Chain A
Amino acid sequence: MLDKALKGSATYWGWLLFLLAFIGVGFGCYLYQFSEGLRITGMSRDVSWGFYIGQFTYLVGVAASGVMVVLPYYIHNYKAFARITILGEFLAVSAIVMCGLFISVDLGYLPRVMNIILYPHPNSILFWDMIVLNVYLLLNIFIGWNVLSAERKGVHYPKWITPLIYISIPWAFSIHTVTAFLYAGLPGRHFWLTAIMAARFLASAFCSGPALLILLCFIVRKLSRFDPGKEQIRTLGGIVAYAMILNVFFFLLELFTAFYSRIPEHMHAIVYLFFGLEGHTRLVPWMWGATVFAVIALVLLIIPQLRRREGILAIACGSVIVATWIDKGLALVVGGFIPNPFDRIFEYWPTTPEVFISLGVYATGFFVLSVLYKIAVSVKEEVAA
């Protein structure tokens, strides 16, 4: 099937070249970071994780959200999703590729990364995260590839795939739960030390991932003869709506606990994010931006008449993506480090090389995604013809 990826229009090749250019620039910046060390980033001894880990966290959510098309089809026998499960699975594959790359560029001593396996320490959540993410990647590659080949040949996929599919469903929940545990078990980081963190992560994943998938479906429909389907997109829209409501609800729960208890450590990070602390306000406009986008998204999603109009759904999905990205890709990680353990404030902002490295990773992910989608869509076109 790989040959499908090699035959494409000029737009397809142009797009890949465009991504390659970003990959090249990102790689160049990474070489610079590799030789100089991470001091070329905006991170510091106080905010010791930044943009990279934020993107990692966000993308684990995108990867986990693949389950939102797999689960209704295989568990609830919702036939309509049969058309698009492959899109969800391939989105998960490329998201995990990006996760791996973001962790890699964040490591101070990448050549030693195998130490995680050579000296396994199961008491570390990072060890488990490495395991669940890699297994999830393999599951999605296997399932996606085999189901698609079978579809192409017009036969049922091999029997041994079925148990893998059922395993992949709880596994998707596990990857984002374990990722939440990276944060939620650290004493002294009050912003993260909350039992609802995993639930929040899942809720935000299950709105941002399907929102992205909807936008991708629109693009696929525009660029190919394969139509993911009106009903499919409408159902996904419903999923995004419910998940976004939960996501915002969970966040409001955090606000209640922090501000009704009035325990300073619980309030500080939130106050910093939305109003600034001691004159440090770098993230304030972003947070209010996220709030505005979240409100727009909620209004457009909750009213069924609006949500069912595809143009409006696209706007709603875009807003969901922006709002959840600011919340998880930017504020969550940085907010956890502010104020620092000495109740002092050191702010963080990514540097240009850091942003370019991140763009390079995103370009790599989208490269993988484009190739995989090209294959999937070509097979669908071929079967339909």
Chain B
Amino acid sequence: MYDAGKIIVGLIIGIGLLLFPFYYNAGKAAKAPEPQLTPKAKEAKVCVAETSYMKTSHMHLLERWRQEVVRGGERYYTASNGKVYYKSVEETCLDCHSNKSKFCDQCHDYMRISPYCWDCHIAPKETK
């Protein structure tokens, strides 16, 4: 209990463990991947919201949609340009972005996040 030496050794080991992820990843910086658009997405030109907004905040939009659809039963979304969309991951988002691996996964992997959306929502079959 009063053994200062042991406490210090313990502290050092503890801090070392805490910092482990940092030096484990040190020097591994990779270039951020660019999401790729399918021909269909390119042709559509616009998404349901501004590209810049979608890039940073699509998860918030999806979160809102899921709340509105499941809890509120409202299934139609009017974009700022007046166009109406059916709020559905499968039928709207993935209809254009049918290349999950190149559009979604690249960035998610890069960011080391694995959204649990895919536990239930089904990604389109991709032809390689």
Within 8 A of A (CB), among B1-58: 1
How many Å lie between the Cα of A7 and that of B1 in the bound state?
9
Q: Is chain A's interface secondary structure helix, strand, loop, or mixed overall?
A: helix
User: A3 an interface residue at 8 Å Cβ cutoff?
Assistant: yes
Contacts of A6 in B (CB 8 A): 1
Range of interface residues on A (Cβ < 8 Å) = under 10
Contacts of A3 in B (CB 8 A): 1
Contacts of B1 in A (CB 8 A): 3, 6-7
Size of the chain B interface, CB-CB below 8 angstroms: 1
Tell me the total A-B contact number using a CB cutoff of 8 A.
3
Q: Is chain B's interface secondary structure helix, strand, loop, or mixed overall?
A: loop
Measured CB to CB, the closest approach of chain A to B39, in angstroms, equals: 38
A1-32 interface bits toward B, Cβ cutoff 8 Å, 1 = contact, 0 = none? 00100110000000000000000000000000
A77-88 interface bits toward B, Cβ cutoff 8 Å, 1 = contact, 0 = none? 000000000000
Query: Closest A-chain residue to B1, C-beta based?
Result: A3
Query: Closest B-chain residue to A111, C-beta based?
Result: B116
How many Å lie between the Cα of A3 and that of B2 in the bound state?
10
Measured CB to CB, the closest approach of chain B to A372, in angstroms, equals: 18
Query: Closest B-chain residue to A7, C-beta based?
Result: B1
Query: Closest A-chain residue to B116, C-beta based?
Result: A111
Measured CB to CB, the closest approach of chain A to B74, in angstroms, equals: 19
Measured CB to CB, the closest approach of chain A to B7, in angstroms, equals: 13
How many Å lie between the Cα of A3 and that of B1 in the bound state?
7
Query: Closest B-chain residue to A3, C-beta based?
Result: B1
Measured CB to CB, the closest approach of chain A to B19, in angstroms, equals: 25
How many Å lie between the Cα of A6 and that of B1 in the bound state?
8
Measured CB to CB, the closest approach of chain B to A91, in angstroms, equals: 27
Contacts of A7 in B (CB 8 A): 1
Within 8 A of A (CB), among B62-84: none
Measured CB to CB, the closest approach of chain B to A6, in angstroms, equals: 6
Measured CB to CB, the closest approach of chain A to B71, in angstroms, equals: 10
Measured CB to CB, the closest approach of chain A to B117, in angstroms, equals: 15
A interface with B by C-beta (< 8 Å): 3, 6-7
Q: Name 3 interchain pairs, CB-CB below 8 A, sorted by A.
A: A3-B1, A6-B1, A7-B1
3 closest A-B pairs by beta carbon, nearest first, are A3-B1, A6-B1, A7-B1
